[in-house]
Amino acid sequence: MKIYQHTQPATTILVVTSVVVLIELICAAAFRQRALLLGAAVIAIAAWIFRSLTIEITDAELTWRFGLHWFVKRVALDQIASAKIVRTSFWEGWGVHYTRFGWLYNASGFDAVAITLRNGKRFCLGTDDAPNLIANLKPS
């Protein structure tokens, strides 16, 4: 049974990648460089894949996934030792990469929930709905 579901659009990623793709297309036309078209296509596809971040909580697990739902991660709720609201920095950015909070999964903005598992592993979920996410996690 689904307890919580929230999808955050990747506004920052979409704006930045749109500007980069536009610049690449203009340069490709101006300098007749077909390689720039390939770069623009790769960036556009990446933006489409990471266009949103959906976080769901059922009675048994926490699940999160980006845009197309190809990249799905899940954790059993009984494995969560703690969760707290944090702020990421501009330098920690957006997307998926390792940060001071462990692996960061972030679509847009700087609000996030840092989660520590019982085995000591840590990760962080970017969200524009941190208070509700924490309230629905109910870490034991």
Instruction: Answer whether residue 139 shows pLDDT above 70.
Output: no
Q: What CATH number labels 2-7+53-137?
A: 2.30.29
Is 49 or 132 the better-scoring residue by pLDDT?
132
pLDDT of residue 131: 96
**pLDDT tens, residue by residue, 39-69:** 999 999 989 988 999 999 999 999 999 987 7
pLDDT band at 32 (very low <50, low <70, confident <90, very high): confident
Cβ 118 vs Cβ 134: under 8 Å: no
Write out the E strands in the chain: 2-9, 52-58, 61-66, 72-76, 80-87, 95-99, 102-106, 111-117, 122-126
User: Quick one: tokens of 11?
Assistant: 């506004």
Return the domain boundaries, the chain: 2-7+53-137, 9-48
**pLDDT tens, residue by residue, 86-131:** 999 988 988 889 999 999 999 999 999 999 999 999 999 999 999 9
Cβ 88 vs Cβ 106: under 8 Å: yes
pLDDT of residue 140: 46
> Can you tell me the distance from the alpha carbon of 119 to that of 121, in angstroms, rounded to the nearest whole number?
6
User: Quick one: tokens of 71?
Assistant: 């990249």
Single pTM value for the model: 0.85
